[in-house]
Amino acid sequence: LKSHLGIISFFFFPLPQVEDVVGCHVEDAVTFWAQNVSRCNDLLKLSCALAEACPQANAVFGRPDFSKIYGGCFSEDGCWYRCMVQQVISSEKAGTIFFLKSLICQVLYIDYGNSEVLNRSDIVEIPPNLQCPSVAKKYRLWGLQIPTDQNLNMFDEGKKFLSSLVFEKEIKIRHKGKHEDGTIIAQAEYEKIDIGKEVVKAGFAEKCTSPGNTKDAEERKADGMQNQHRKIKVPVPLGVNRSAHALYSIPRRRCDQVAASTRTPNFTGNSVFAPKEKMLASTSVPDTRLAQIRPAQKLSEDNEFLRRENINLLQTQKELELKVQQLKRELQSEKEASRKTARNFEETLHNYIGTKMRNLAAKVKALKEVRYTNKNSCFREQLSESIIVVTEGCLTVPRSLEKLQKIWTEYDLAQERIRLCRNVDEIDELIAKRDEVRQNLYSAVEELILEVDQLPLSERSRTLQELSASLEMVHGQGSEADDSEEAFQHFFKWKSVKMKKLICVRDNTDTALQILADWFSGILKCFDLTSEASSDLEEVVGNADEILKKAELAICEELDTDLNEPDEAEKGIIMSAYNKVIHNICQEQSMITVIQNRYLASVEFKKQAEEWLNRRPDINNLLSIKKTVKSLKAQLRWKLVEKNNLEESDDYSEFEMMGIKEEIAHLRNRVLQEISKEQEEYEKLTYLVQKWFPELPLLYPEAGILNYMNSGGLLTRSLERDLLDAEPMKELSTKRPLVCSEIQGQKVLLKGYSVDVSSEVKVIERVAKYHRAWDQQKEKSGLLQLLFLLFCKSDPLVYLMVPYYPGASLGALQAVTPLTLEEALKVMKGVAQGLQTLHGANLVHGSLHGNNVFAVNRKQGIVGDFDFTKSEEQRAAASTMVVSTLSLVSPELKMGQPASPASDMYAYGCLLFWLCVQNQEFGIKEDGTPEVDAVVMDDKVKSLLLNLFCCNRLTAEQVLRDDCFLTVDATPISPQPGEEHEPQEEHDSQKTDEKKMPLTEENGANPTQ
């Protein structure tokens, strides 16, 4: 029954004012039952549900409930229908036990409107989901009543008359009112015929003079007539004798199919009583009347059968009449068409010669154009020429290329062996082997250059590109093809057959047109009055129709041959050849590209190898520079000692002090200049190590080449913190040493990191990775530049030198002069660029906060560096990851997940939100994200923020493409020394400005990282 639990939902609907129904039962001349046409599927589902539920259901026990809906087994078809008990009929002579067994009930089939007398054993309980309102409804014709003097015969005739108008017919109902018993007062129409008026015209009903006064009398009369009628005929259930096309016969047929294997319908007329078991025992239906029911019932059934047969015959007659009318109309249309054809034919005969010659001339003109343009032939010729180009003119791979590739691979392997070697004793043998291979490679390179110089690579590549473009304009994009030559063979074979056929067709056309021209010449002489030549008229005219017909057929055949598109098989041949051509073009283009790339690499190798082929580099320049730096540093230290001694001396001289300071400044500048030269030498050596001589770090370990390379070029041991004129920043040095200095006119910060032997390698590795990410785009990277990495001799510290831009951090700016929305968007676009640079280098910042992001000139955003001694997770857990009352730590980090680019984008979103809300109050959700919808801000910015606070956050690249930044000018502005800029160490290094702002967490001056 679970499959039918949804049935009840179909039955609760509001009563419409106008509805289409189908009549299913008639009670008298003005009362009938009908079902809404839209309920067909509902009735079918209901019947199927009853067919499943009722056979297993329990029979009614005791006295039935008149207000409850049961399932009743209809006596004539054995199917189950929903019913309600109207009356209980029992025997007065029977005892208690016999009474329970022989209880007889009169039931009403609520979905059809008819009634029947059943044994209580044929009535069963049904599930609650089937206890829904009836499908059929009782209707009474509006404003009509049965005459009070109507006899029983007239009553039956009136009932039959109304049945002929409504039974199994689709009628339109307009509601007018409703009786207390649920009967609907309605106006009924069938095919624009007012049924009520027809009943009145037939004399079976009359109009109510006063509806309020006649209502009771009318109902009493109708009830009396119906009671008399029941003495003669017991109503039969709906659908027993119904025709197959009836709308609501569907449920009965469905139930028959469902139950066909378990029950056989008992079609025994309308005899619902057994001789004794079904005898009625009620005072309201005496035993003597039951005996009179059978003959009258049989007569009524025969009359009903004949009535139905009559209706069917009338319907057939009507259909045949309609068919005859339709055939008459078709015949008339055919006659009109024939007359029109005859008129057209007659008109054509008058203009036949002129029309024939005009048509023939038009076809000859079209044929001239086709022969001139020769469309399909051009396609075939173009493809044929392309095949010749890609097959006969194809370049071959230079013989020296394979040899060069082999030697170059051997050379790379020799270089890699040297790079991995850690034993000085073995290096000489590896270098000798490498030099030998390099010499061979040089010879192979020269050979390839000479051979390739003889090949027309550029011209051939340009030809292939033009050929490919022209073919694609005609045939479109090519597809994959095999490497066999059969595609070309099939194409040329097809083309040959096609050309032979075309030549034959053209010869036939030329012959036919020549015959026509000769005929015209003869006709011209025949009609020339000045010509003396006599000729036989029959011989001259000949069979003119045959000549014209042959000429026209020949022209049409050639036009069809040229203009018709190729069939599927021909298209397959053409496309196979085309795809093969495109495949060969792509293959040859790839080969040319390989040759050109190897040629360019060979030219570059030869050019550079000539310098180092017979000599080796040394580090004398580097050592000389280091020696000079060492001497200058000694002089600088001595001058610093003199300065200190003079400051403590009793004979202090300001003039002498100024001289010493000038000398110190001069020495510092010379040291920095020499260090710049040293960096240049390291860059040269780094290039030689990577390109030509990987053995240099092993041969000259004192030069520290590997350390320089591993640090990304930042590490320098020549520059020392003690030699700089550094000013300690005590208020910011609560966590690590932090000093401010100036180098060549640029303010810098030195951030000291305490390291040991194990952590030193990790710090250098992280610094180098960050610096390489910056070096890809430099000022356009959106990252803070790292200048130098230097060690301290006296302490286990490594100092990182970065530019110093006081007062430019977001925390400092927002505390003094907050950014406008336009400025904030410009700055945050630069920050997004910096994050994209980091994430593209597989780096996670993990420490993005208000003191670590800078607004250079309030226009360009820069992402500051971070604490290189900490991992990503350690940086993300720092106490500085907060702005205002908003935590910058993403929800997934709080749950213990590792830091990721997504967590950086969450912190980015928080900073953007903080810049946009200004002084507005905002709420915080349970997961720590801010309440964006409650804050007043630009809709585009709000949309961006929502996409940064969700689980599937935008990437930095997607943020840069957001609508918010489309109109933002993000042209990078190179920071100039001395301007109001402040990169801050992760950022404990730049948390103050020149105006000495109060050092608080709110303005980012509290060094917590």
Q: Which CATH number covers residue 61?
A: 2.40.50.90
> Rounded to the nearest 5 degrees, what angle is found at the Cα of 921, between the Cα atoms of 916 and 927?
85
Please say if the pLDDT value at position 187 is more than 90.
yes
The pLDDT of 840-866, averaged and rounded, is 88
Please say if the pLDDT value at position 250 is more than 50.
no
The pLDDT of 910-916, averaged and rounded, is 90
CB 364 within 8 A of CB 357: no
CB 88 within 8 A of CB 162: no
Whether 676 and 751 share a structural domain:
no
Distance, CA of 1005 to CA of 999 (rounded, Å): 5
In a domain, 311, yes or no: no
Q: What is the pLDDT of residue 485?
A: 65
Distance, CA of 508 to CA of 554 (rounded, Å): 6
Q: How far is CA 489 from the centre of its chain?
A: 44
Dihedral over Cα of 992, 997, 1000, 1002: its sign: negative
DSSP code per residue over 376-436: HHHHHHHHHHHHHHHHHS-----HHHHHHHHHHHHHHHHHHHHHH---HHHHHHHHHHHHH
Distance, CA of 889 to CA of 880 (rounded, Å): 10
In a domain, 254, yes or no: yes
Q: What is the pLDDT of residue 283?
A: 31
Whether 641 and 727 share a structural domain:
no
Domain final residue, candidates 236, 267, 285: 285
In a domain, 533, yes or no: no
Whether 114 and 212 share a structural domain:
yes
Structure confidence at residue 994 as a pLDDT band (50, 70, 90):
very low
Partnered with residue 827 across adjacent β-strands are: none
* Nearest by Cα to 830 from 959, 991, 1005, 946: 959
Whether 645 and 728 share a structural domain:
no
In a domain, 314, yes or no: no
Structure confidence at residue 201 as a pLDDT band (50, 70, 90):
very high
Q: At residue 617, what is the residue type?
A: P
Long-range CB pairs of 190-196 (<8 Å, 24+ gap) are 190/165, 190/166, 193/165, 195/141, 195/162, 195/165, 195/166, 195/171, 196/30, 196/141, 196/142, 196/143, 196/144
Q: Which residue has the higher pLDDT, 493 or 827?
A: 827
Please say if the pLDDT value at position 918 is more than 90.
no
Whether 800 and 897 share a structural domain:
yes
In a domain, 106, yes or no: yes
Query: CB count, 10 Å around CB of 620?
Result: 9
Please say if the pLDDT value at position 229 is more than 60.
no
CA 469 → CA 98, 339, 462, 558, 955, distances in Å? 102, 59, 11, 31, 38
Task: Report the domain count for the chain.
Answer: 3
Whether 884 and 735 share a structural domain:
yes
430-470, pLDDT tens digit by residue?
888 988 888 888 888 888 888 888 888 788 788 777 777 77
Structure confidence at residue 850 as a pLDDT band (50, 70, 90):
confident
Peptide bond into 987 cis (omega under 30): yes
Q: What is the pLDDT of residue 823?
A: 87
Distance, CA of 990 to CA of 672 (rounded, Å): 24
DSSP code per residue over 454-510: TS-HHHHHHHHHHHHHHHHHHH-S-----S-SHHHHHHHHHHHHHHHHHHHHHHHHH
Q: What is the pLDDT of residue 977?
A: 38
Query: CB count, 10 Å around CB of 66?
Result: 11
264-275, pLDDT tens digit by residue?
333 333 333 232
697-715, pLDDT tens digit by residue?
888 888 888 888 888 888 8
In a domain, 126, yes or no: yes
- Highest averaged pLDDT of the listed ranges 9-13, 487-491, 824-828, 964-968: 824-828
The pLDDT of 650-656, averaged and rounded, is 81
Residue in this structure with the two tokens 């009609």, named with its chain if needed: 527
Q: Which residue has the higher pLDDT, 171 or 399?
A: 171
Whether 633 and 771 share a structural domain:
no
Q: Which residue has the higher pLDDT, 657 or 540?
A: 657
Q: What is the pLDDT of residue 979?
A: 39
H helix intervals, 193-286: 195-201, 211-232, 250-258
Domain final residue, candidates 238, 270, 285: 285
Whether 719 and 627 share a structural domain:
no
* Residue 384, both tokens: 């044929």
CA 94 → CA 91, 98, 104, 126, 286, distances in Å? 6, 6, 13, 29, 15
Whether 669 and 789 share a structural domain:
no
> Residue 948: which CATH number?
1.10.510.10
In a domain, 248, yes or no: yes
709-745, pLDDT tens digit by residue?
888 888 888 777 777 777 777 666 566 778 888 887 7
Query: CB count, 10 Å around CB of 261?
Result: 7
Distance, CA of 184 to CA of 170 (rounded, Å): 17
Structure confidence at residue 256 as a pLDDT band (50, 70, 90):
very low
Strands 738-743 and 882-883, by their bridges, are: unpaired
Contacts of 846 (CB under 8 A, 6+ apart): 866, 872, 873, 875, 876, 899, 903, 904
Q: What is the pLDDT of residue 379?
A: 52
273-329, pLDDT tens digit by residue?
232 233 323 333 334 344 445 567 778 878 888 888 899 999 999 899 999 999 999
* Residue 633, both tokens: 């540093």
CA 97 → CA 93, 94, 117, distances in Å? 12, 8, 21
Q: What is the pLDDT of residue 323?
A: 92
Domain span at residue 899 reads: 711-1009
Percent residues over pLDDT 90 in the chain: 17
Strands 136-141 and 184-190, by their bridges, are: parallel
Q: What is the pLDDT of residue 950?
A: 87
Whether 868 and 1002 share a structural domain:
yes
The pLDDT of 994-1004, averaged and rounded, is 34
In a domain, 301, yes or no: no
Distance, CA of 697 to CA of 679 (rounded, Å): 16
Q: What is the pLDDT of residue 29?
A: 92
Whether 958 and 847 share a structural domain:
yes
Please say if the pLDDT value at position 980 is more than 50.
no
Domain final residue, candidates 652, 670, 695: 695
**Lowest-pLDDT range, 125-139, 492-506, 993-1007?**
993-1007
Whether 687 and 717 share a structural domain:
no
